[in-house]
Chain A
């Protein structure tokens, strides 16, 4: 399987997205899934090539219609349990990982 490209998106790609990136990194690593996770900003996020976008509820509304990949909403950027569950659900739904 080719390596996943995962984008964590916030307004400018510096604050909350960096925090979310760290939490996503931990979730992928914990489950032995190889993924490149990077932070992005809302303006360029949909033109940056990636397999999946993780972001907040508000920004998902903004980018949802333009995105060429699944957009996954994270309610709490520091909730390990929520983030891991959504990563695994994405892997099961879109990458055929059971």
Chain B
């Protein structure tokens, strides 16, 4: 099973501010019909309210909002930002922006475990940052998630 769906992957070279980046990664989840549009707005409100706490490691953010009726199913998206995004976090600038949605707090443990393994592996991170398109990224993520 693919760890992140192909249509949930995006590589961006353009400069983006934090809000644009959150909207873009959120829209991947909207397009996959995993969340309603309201969820993207909730992600942004959460950033405004709690600050950039979801920038959990140097260069890595896992944006998400509350599990509520705007979530249709558990899912995860990943946007690679070649022009790093500033969230005003001590872990800035962000180059790997995940978007996560969950229906409850336990169902997505397996996928988070894979994300955690991936993020503990700096060589894997460097390989992810060096791919040129989404097809290549999809293939790489699948091969990495099989070995971890």
Q: Do A and B bind each other?
A: yes
| A residues adjacent to B (C-beta < 8 A) | 10-16, 18-20, 22-23, 39, 42, 55-59, 62, 75-80
Indicate if the CB atoms of B46 and A57 lie closer than 8 Å: no
Indicate if the CB atoms of A19 and B50 lie closer than 8 Å: no
- Chain B interface residue count: which class? 20 to 34
Q: Which residues of B41-67 have CB atoms within 8 Å of chain A's CB atoms? A: 46, 50-54, 56-58, 60, 62, 64-67
Indicate if the CB atoms of A14 and B105 lie closer than 8 Å: yes
Indicate if the CB atoms of A14 and B64 lie closer than 8 Å: yes
Indicate if the CB atoms of B57 and A15 lie closer than 8 Å: no
22 contacts between A and B (CB under 8 A): A11-B50, A11-B53, A11-B54, A12-B65, A14-B67, A14-B100, A14-B105, A15-B62, A16-B56, A18-B109, A18-B112, A19-B56, A19-B116, A22-B113, A58-B89, A59-B51, A59-B53, A76-B56, A76-B91, A78-B116, A78-B119, A78-B120
| B residues adjacent to A (C-beta < 8 A) | 46, 50-54, 56-58, 60, 62, 64-67, 89-91, 100, 102, 104-105, 108-109, 112-113, 115-116, 119-120
Q: Label chain B's interface by main secondary structure.
A: loop
Known: A11-B46, A13-B105. A19 touches B91 (CB 8 A): no
Chain A contacts for B64, CB-based, 8 A: 11-12, 14-16
Which A-B residue pairs are the 6 nearest by beta carbons? A77-B56, A15-B64, A58-B51, A58-B53, A56-B53, A78-B119
B61 to chain A minimum Cβ distance, whole angstroms, is 9
Residue of chain B at shortest CB distance from A61: B51
Chain A contacts for B115, CB-based, 8 A: 19
